[in-house]
Structure 1
Amino acid sequence: MPRFIDPTPRLRDSFLEAVAEFRADRDYPPSWFVGDVDPPALTSPEAFEAYVARVLGERSAAGARDGFVPMTTLWWADGERFLGRMAIRHRLIPALEEIGGHIGYDVRPSARRQGHATAMLAAALPIARSLGLRQVLVMCDRTNTASRRVIEANGGRLIDITELKRRYWVPTTAS
């Protein structure tokens, strides 16, 4: 049964297979997180361990990179299979209010249309609540109907539609 886990070197092979799937996907451009994987981590087990340590370290202000806010990244996995990732940003800055929001998620192409994104967002809301967030800003591309449905299924209330994004407030507790 799929669940969130902390990023771990144990899932390296499956994670790298997913990165390859994201890059080969012609329907959607790869998410920013695919480009954010340290290039040496794609070929070196030791560098992959360092990448995982960096991602885990970003949960604190001290570990956040310049221009980033602290964020909790979790992997959605079923046993040893990496299915997707979720990033919960602990606070907003102006750039995230426009593009990004509190929560970003990605499901590997071979696992899409199986309910994972909806389940991931539902599972992320109590975590966001534990970080002190009563509601989270979640957004999707204007034309991403699947992501719009995921957000709305989790209680998203449309704020507005910008040139690029549909922006929603999602409560972190059941209404």
Structure 2
Amino acid sequence: MPVLIPPTADVHASYLRAMDEHIAEGRGEPGDGSNVGQYIRQFGPVWSARPEFERFVGSLRAQELEDTPRPATYVPTTSLWWVDGDEYLGRLGIRHRLAPGGMGERNGHIGYDVRPSARRKGHATAMLAAALPFAAALGLPQVLITCDDTNDASRRTIERNGGVLHDKLDEKLRYWILTSPS
């Protein structure tokens, strides 16, 4: 049964296969601003070497800390990986607060990706549900989650987890979800 865990080098081989799937669908190209796209561009050339992958994992885990250096528009973020044994299925990031400069209003508190071969199997919905207690433990009573208005799968994932539509900002639908039952 899949679980959310902190990033770990234990899923190295499976993670690389998942990134190959993402690359095959065009992720990592210069215009791809997603987390996965950024990881591919920054670490993809080196992470096949185990020490470099361990460095990548360490960099993700360091982003949880308030004093870790980061660009001004980034905030502390807890990264979690959705894994089944040693099989990497997806990733999720919980921003500890909304990013400044309007980015937070567009990106929200939680972002997630499921590897292409694991999609349409309920993983995104289960992963988001499993993340809500982590968000509550970070002191977030509710989280803002956004998706493109054309992304029906993500919209359904958010709504299945209790997301209440707040509004539409440009092409983004913005939802609020309570992190613990009321």
**Counterpart in the other structure of 2:35:** 33
How far did residue 26 of structure 1 move? 6.1
- Please say which of residues 33-42 and 45-54 is displaced more in the overlay: 33-42
Relative to the length of structure 2, the TM-score reads 0.89
Aligned equivalents of 1:149, 1:14: Cα separation in 2: 27
Which of 77, 90, 101 is the matching residue for 2:83? 77
1:97 equivalent in alignment to 2:130: no
Relative to the length of structure 1, the TM-score reads 0.92
% identical equivalent positions:
51
Which of 156, 170, 173 is the matching residue for 2:177? 170
Q: Is the Cα–Cα contact under 8 Å of residues 140 and 167 in structure 1 kept in the other structure?
A: yes
Structure 2: where are the runs of 5+ without partners?
Answer: none
The DSSP-based 3-state class of the residue aligned with 1:150 is helix
Aligned equivalents of 1:23, 1:120: Cα separation in 2: 22
**What is the count of residue pairs matched by the alignment?**
174
Q: Deviations over 1:80-113 (max 9, x none)?
A: 1000001000001233333211000000010001
**Counterpart in the other structure of 2:10:** 10
How far did residue 25 of structure 1 move? 2.0
Q: C-alpha root-mean-square deviation of aligned residues, in Å?
A: 1.8
* AA aligned opposite 2:49: S
The DSSP-based 3-state class of the residue aligned with 1:62 is coil
- CA 1:11–1:41 in structure 2 vs 1: closer, same or farther (change >3 Å)? farther
Which of 55, 58, 65 is the matching residue for 1:50? 55
Structure 1: where are the runs of 5+ without partners?
Answer: none
Q: Deviations over 1:114-152 (max 9, x none)?
A: 110000110111110000001000011110001000000
